[in-house]
Amino acid sequence: MSEINDKVTNEKKQIVLSGIQPTGTITLGNFLGAVSNWGKMQEEFDSIFFVADLHALTVKREPAEFRQACMSFFAQLLACGIDPAKSVLYFQSHVHEHTELQWILNCNTYVGEASRMTQFKDKSAKHADNINMGLMDYPVLMAADILLFRTSLVPVGIDQKQHLELTRDIAVRFNNRYGDTFVVPEPYIPATGAKICSLQDPTAKMSKSDPDANAWVSVIEDESSVMKKFKRAVTDSGNDIVARDDKPGITNLLTIYAAIEGKSVEQAEKEFAGVGYGTFKTAVGEAVAEKFRPIRENYHRYLDDKAYLAEVAREGARKASAMGSRTLAKVKRKVGLVSFDR
């Protein structure tokens, strides 16, 4: 493995930050909708990416399995193209500044704001036996994640938009009370980022939590499994391979193929004009399997090299802590906490 070089911060570059919960595997939907764009962002921005293991604790987990899932996810991010020489990559729990800042932000956040979050209501309904404070406080930790690094841009999906608005409200409130402290972040919408739907229910978002394993594909899944899932993918009535509202199955497969191949949906439609559904689904499966082949290979190589993963994680945490400690020290001074540091 190559050495991890120190990341040289270019002050002219904006800071972009994104975290992802270690759900086990990165799906095709995660990859095309978010992670593939991270590799592009690290060329343009000062990029900070982390495994959001603290956020994941709001759900009951078996410790050994959770620890393994976190390591696997870290290796998957590296395999998907996150370069530790270009980006800061680490585990959220390894940087204590996240939770220190969270407490101070808690004291500047109103209970009504947190309880109104749609995601809190949804998760409370789904996990009625485990409505813990972490569920309510989740968006404040997210605000700390973002504000800690003076982040300018945050890639967000629809489900996180409300949380980013709360982050902005907290930042503005703090700045108004204590003086200019935080950068008020803006949402970042990548130039590309396809919305990928379930292979079995093309009206629903692809999700690993789907009880039907044929509904989603993982970036580290073996080729034969990928092909089986695409051959079983739900299509629509008729024979035309076109993207239309009344053909959600075919539209989803065209969207996947176009995103994987770097083409427009219109180009994909022309390519498969007059082709049968079976041939089309096979072609999409082959394109996905080939795209994921180097990711699978790199993933297993990284996962087998625990020393390298530890080195990357430690160095990423060191850089993140060095960046975040400056903001945290400023915040502590602003709120009146005693410090003997010069």
- Active-site residue list: 123, 205, 208
Q: How far is CA 269 from CA 68, 73, 94, 266, in A?
A: 41, 34, 47, 5
Q: How far apart are CA 71 and CA 317, in angstroms?
A: 15
Within a 10 A sphere around the Cβ of 244, how many other Cβ atoms? Answer: 11
Give the angle 198-199-200 at the CA atoms, nearest 5°: 90
Quickly list H helices, the chain.
28-30, 36-44, 63-79, 97-106, 111-115, 118-126, 133-147, 158-178, 223-231, 248-261, 265-271, 277-303, 306-335
How many whole angstroms separate alpha carbon 273 and alpha carbon 270?
A: 5
CA pair distance 290, 295, nearest whole angstrom: 9
What residues are paired with 90 via a beta bridge?
50
Residue type, 114: A
If one counts every other C-beta atom within 10 angstroms of the C-beta of residue 276, the result is 11
- Rounded CA-CA distance 19/134 in Å is 17
Rg (CA), the chain: 21
Distances, alpha carbon 221 to alpha carbons 160, 217, 245, in Å: 28, 7, 30
Phi/psi at 183 (5° precision): -80, 130
